[in-house]
Amino acid sequence: MGWVSPTGHTEGDWTNEANAYDGSLTTAATYTEIPGTWTPFLEFTLTDMIKCDSVRFFVNSGFPLGFEVDIDVYYGSAWHDVFEGVVSVMVWVEKDIPDETQDVSKVRIRTRHGSSIHTDYVYEVELYETELAIGSLVDKGLVT
């Protein structure tokens, strides 16, 4: 199938949340964080649940050394950790879901670094759709 963007977001403390799923690497959701603390989660929604086995993100920070990301996906009525750790900035970073392919309905990301106050940027978050989920097939009238 391929990479898909979220279709919405949950209102939160980030600025311009929709920029993180608009398909452009020139616009971003932003948050100015307190050094050494995690930002609030930036949570994205999907119109339909998808069969998903991995996520990818494109991020940056005003101080990229030691820049950490925590990303989770929602399936089976709970949040599940995909990755937490130091990442490179201004490149796509891909991470597999540890439990392999799942019926995912949401994804969330947060960031942290230990330096002085800086703005963090989430340019894009995408999920890899491996096949159409049964719910999506029913919604599209492809199965009954």
What is the chain written as a DSSP string? -EEE--SEE---SSBSGGGGGSS-TT--EEEEEPTTSPPPPEEEEEEEEEEEEEEEEEEEESS-TT-EEEEEEEETTEEEEEEEEE--SSSEEEEE-TT-SEEEEEEEEEEE-SSSSEEEEEEEEEEEEEE--HHHHHHTTS--
Under 8 Å CB-to-CB from 11, ≥6 apart: which residues? 17
Domains of the chain by start residue, with CATH: 2-139 (2.60.120.260)
Which pLDDT does position 140 carry in this prediction? 57
Is residue 106 a contact partner of residue 125, using CB atoms and an 8 Å limit? no
Which pLDDT does position 102 carry in this prediction? 97
**pLDDT one digit per residue (tens) for the chain, 144 residues:** 899 999 999 999 999 999 999 999 999 999 998 888 899 999 999 999 999 999 999 999 877 677 899 999 999 999 999 999 999 999 999 999 999 999 999 999 999 987 778 899 999 999 999 987 665 555 556 555
Which pLDDT does position 36 carry in this prediction? 82
Is residue 129 a contact partner of residue 7, using CB atoms and an 8 Å limit? no
